[in-house]
Structure 1
Amino acid sequence: MRPRDLASLLALFATGLRAAAGTEQCDGPARQPQPTTVLRKSLLCNYDRLERPAKDLANATTVAVLLWLKSFDVNEMSHGHSIDIHTWTAWSWMDDYLTWDPKQHNGIEFLHFRSYEIWIPELVLQSPAEFQSLANFFSDGKCVVRHVGHVVCIASSAYHAQCDGDLASWPFDSHRCELVLTALEDKENSVNLTVMDTGISTLDLVPNRDWELVAVNASVSTEHALFGGQELSVLYEFTIRRHSSLYMAVILAPLLVLAVMTAVSFWISPDNTARVTLCCLNLVIHCLCLQNLMYVIGSNGETCPRIVLLYRDSLVLVLAALGTAVLAMRASRPRAAAAAPPPPWLGAAALLLVDNPLGRPLLAGRLGPQVFPRKQSGDEEAADIIENSEDIGPSKLPLDQWAFLVDVLDRAMFYVYLIVFHILLIARVS
């Protein structure tokens, strides 16, 4: 290699070293540092960001926290619910080593720092499921320091909180979620937490499509002290409620349709096979709906959701309607009805029901008293029976008696079904 080439290579290498070290010479005029830059360097000189900034370590540092809620997501899991909360977190405290006199520094009253440049409290999130450090969120926050040493930092953060998993009122269920913020400090360097203003703000909250944030609360608590001492923690409570309009349309409305099908079955002629078919179809649809509810809701421990109990009770009523349809079809067959007339006590009970003012609407216009004559004395009873038998015909008397009893049974079951279903609907849904 020629000496000239070697000299050029060494000059190029030296230029690269100066550029890497930031000491490359420039031809422009030297720039005077800004007063804020001078003040920042002066304050951070010999500043230890790992040491709690209190000149008297016997005094605890009080840190005030404020959450600006931005959005939240609810996770529905088989073992319980949880909520992911996305916020802007602001926290403030007094730093005894970041103070200055504005008169001696061009009237500067506040400075901007990054949170990794100064001491910040190490906060942890406590919940029944986890113990999470928030250092990753707060390590790159933006801080404003006033000349009296008051520090305010803000950072984007996300919290994970557990909720109670009771689904007994599904889909009208509400859940209470809580999270606890505690400062990770020992007892010698104690840090106490408190709330700034109300502790939480929902002015910028983006609504959730599936859940409504009903109430939020922030309070100072000593029950969750990390080391069992007098450290104060901040307890955040969130109450969320499910939007139930969609579930009412796709789950409760079909149940009402099935209830109408059940009620209509009592008005179909007992000798019509479509009645039994309708009840069987109703039964199958109930079973499919229960399977779908099991898939949508999942397990709820020992407490069964009331909407599932309502479907179960409606299924039992459909079974009763199916049994009534089969019994009515059996009693309405001419051969079976002619084989044996109904017991006298059964006819007397039917007449007692029809004669009651509340039971008269059951069989308006039916021939109850003609097919089941009332008891009379002596010759009047015999003459009345013979007269009614001549009007109806001996061969049709048992058949009409069974038909009358079937009509009473159908109408009575119809009204009983309406009353029972309305009671169940009010009890389960409310």
Structure 2
Amino acid sequence: MLSVHVVSANSSAMTRLLVLGFILLAVNNTIQFSVDTYSQCPEDQVKNRSMTLQLRKHVFCDYDTYVRPSLHQDNATKVYLELIPKFIEFDDHANTLILYAWMAMIWTDEHLKWSISKFGNLSSLQVSSDELWMPHLYVYNSGNLDREQYGIPKTDCVLHSSGQVACVPAMKYMSHCIANYQHWPFDRHNCTLYLGSWSHTGEEIDYNFFDDGVLEMPDFTPNPRWKLLSISAKKKVDKFEAMNYTFPRLTYNVVVERHSTFMQTTILAPAIVLIILTMMVLWLNPMNSERMVLAALNLICHLLCIIDVNWQVPFNGDTLPSILVFLKNSLIIASAVLFLTALLRQLKGISIPAPVWLTSTTSFILESKAGQFILLATLDPNTSTTMGTKDDNIRLIQSSATSSIINPESVNAWHHFATLLDRLSFIAVLLTYVIMISVLLPK
């Protein structure tokens, strides 16, 4: 009894499958019949309609959008392009250029010609790009793998009686750039956009420029952060000897530069203030407590400025931006100035006689006019002719001789050495800042 029910259930299932198969076959035959009927495009059905409708039925009768628009497959389809930039964006953290533009395209579709006299002198027809064969134009170095980077979006086109098709789709091109932020915030980037076809060779589709690649930019909207310096177009042909094929490639070079006015206020102005602050520390008397406080404050300001710039500057791989190199060197100088201030305070407080090598070196420097000029603003004018006597243990300059001799037994020799070291440090730091600015400043 159980076997009878199983056989009955199997038979019922097979019957439902057979009925479903017949239904699908009938629907498929109906659709195919409708397509075949439409493809025949009987003219008597649209004979009393508008001339535009008659023209559309005539032109698109048996037209296939996947067939290349050439009667002879050996002839290459020439496609003329012109890029019309409208707006640019540059993502400096992702090193990506985004170009919004119109891409004017013109080619001849030999399958879509008609006689003007037969259709009421209609010389053109507005059609959708979905109804036409469209050039396969892709971005080779796309910075985004979205569908909009592959192919051409839907747009309206104008079809002429000669078969010429003109389309101007709105495009959004995105490409990766090899950015260099060494001169940030005065950085300039040269980005390259490669356009071509993945599915057609140069023997099938031949891409060319209008006016030899000269670009026009009517109503171009400037970017508030980036300035478009130049954009140029060039055609390159890659040839594969093994297959004897060529692949044309359209190259657009876009050069952008950052608007650095805002950055000059937020980045360069603090750097200049740090230079002035460091020089002020060296100018003050080491024995004043204000110099020690100012030197510590200068070091803290350097650290805060480096942290702030580090958050703003884009990542640049192994190349360190010049502004960070400058702040790093300036931080080292500020640390050295703080250490020098503490050292000079200790030297001026030493109460033991100076060694011979120190006094002789100091005397040698003071014998020169440069050394006397360095100490001119720091020593007392009344003692500039004599650097001391045995009574006060200070001997600076002998009045009867042009040489400056320091008494080795004088404990105040440490004071003169510290003063000389302080003035020389001021000159050395000033020259160091001048060299750093001349080397690191972008040309």
Query: Please, what TM-score do these two structures have when normalized by structure 1?
Result: 0.80
Q: Name 2:237's counterpart in structure 1.
A: 222
Q: 1:358 to 1:188 in 2, by over 3 A?
A: closer
Q: Counterpart of 1:370 in structure 2: which amino acid?
A: M
- Where structure 2 has 5 or more consecutive residues not aligned to the other structure, the ranges are 1-45, 389-393
Instruction: Give the corresponding residue for 2:81.
Output: 65
Give, in whole Å, the separation in 2 of the partners of 1:326 and 1:158. Answer: 61
Which of 369, 373, 396 aligns to 1:361? It is 373
1:84 CA displacement:
1.3
Q: 2:140 maps to which residue?
A: 126
Q: In the TM superposition, what is the alpha-carbon distance from 1:351 to its structure 2 partner?
A: 3.5
Alignment of 1:152-167 (within 5 A): 152-167=166-181
1:398 to 401, 406, 411: 411
Q: How far has the Cα of 1:224 moved from its partner?
A: 9.1
The count of residues paired between Structure 1 and Structure 2 equals 381
List aligned pairs for 1:6-21, cutoff 5 A. Answer: none
Q: Match for 1:83 among 88, 97, 101?
A: 97
Counterpart of 2:303 (choices 287, 308, 332) is: 287
Q: Which amino acid aligns with 2:63?
A: Y
Give CA deviations for 1:151-200 in whole Å, capped at 9, x if unaligned: 11111121111111221111111112122111243459822222223264
Q: Distance in 2 between matches of 1:268 and 1:183?
A: 70
Cα distance in 2 for partners of 1:315, 1:266 equals 15
Indicate conservation of the 8 Å contact 2:137/2:150, yes or no.
no
Displacement after TM superposition at 1:137 (Å): 7.0
Distance 1:200 1:375, change over 3 A: closer
The one-letter code of the counterpart of 1:147 is S
Distance 2:414 2:309 in 1: 42
2:169 and 2:127 mapped to 1: Cα distance? 13
Query: How far apart are residue 122 of structure 1 and its match?
Result: 2.2
Question: What do the CA deviations read for 1:327-383 (whole angstroms, capped 9, x no partner)?
Answer: 1110122xx2x2x1223332333343334333333111624651465899xxx99xx
User: Is the aligned partner of 1:52 residue 2:73?
Assistant: no
**Pairing 1:322-333 to 2, within 5 Å after superposition:** 322-333=338-349
Q: Is the contact made by 1:71 and 1:206 (CA closer than 8 Å) also made in structure 2?
A: yes
- Counterpart position of 1:417: 429
Q: Which amino acid in 2 is paired with 1:360? A: Q
Runs of 4+ in 1 over 6 A off after TM superposition: none
CA RMSD of aligned residues (A): 3.1
Q: Is the 8 A contact 2:239 2:246 kept in 1?
A: no
Alignment equivalent of 1:211, drawn from 210, 216, 226: 226
Q: 2:7 maps to which residue?
A: none
1:83 touches 1:160 (CA, 8 Å); kept in 2?
A: yes
Q: Encode CA deviations 1:54-100: one digit per residue, 9 max, x unaligned.
A: 100111112122121111111122xx400111111211111101222
Q: CA deviation at 1:201?
A: 2.9
Match of 1:321 among 337, 343, 351: 337
Distance 1:252 1:318 in 2: 17
1:183 and 1:192 in contact (8 A); partners too: no
Q: Which amino acid aligns with 1:177?
A: C
Does structure 2 conserve the Cα–Cα contact (< 8 Å) formed by 1:145 and 1:151? yes
The match for 2:10 is none
Output aligned runs, 1:374-389, within 5 Å: none
Distance between the aligned counterparts of 2:233 and 2:244, measured in 1? 21
* Identical-pair percentage: 25
Asked if structure 2 preserves the Cα contact closer than 8 Å seen for 1:194 and 1:232, the reply is no
For 1:196, the aligned partner's letter is F
Alignment of 1:143-222 (within 5 A): 143-187=157-201, 190-197=204-211, 198=213, 200-222=215-237
Query: Structure 1's 320 and 327: CA in aligned 2 closer, same or farther, altered over 3 A?
Result: same
* Structure 1 runs not aligned, ≥5 long: 1-29
Question: How far, CA to CA, are the matches of 2:337 and 2:165 in structure 1?
Answer: 74
State how far apart, in whole Å, the 2-side matches of 1:110 and 1:139 are.
22
Deviates more, 1:107-116 or 1:251-260: 107-116
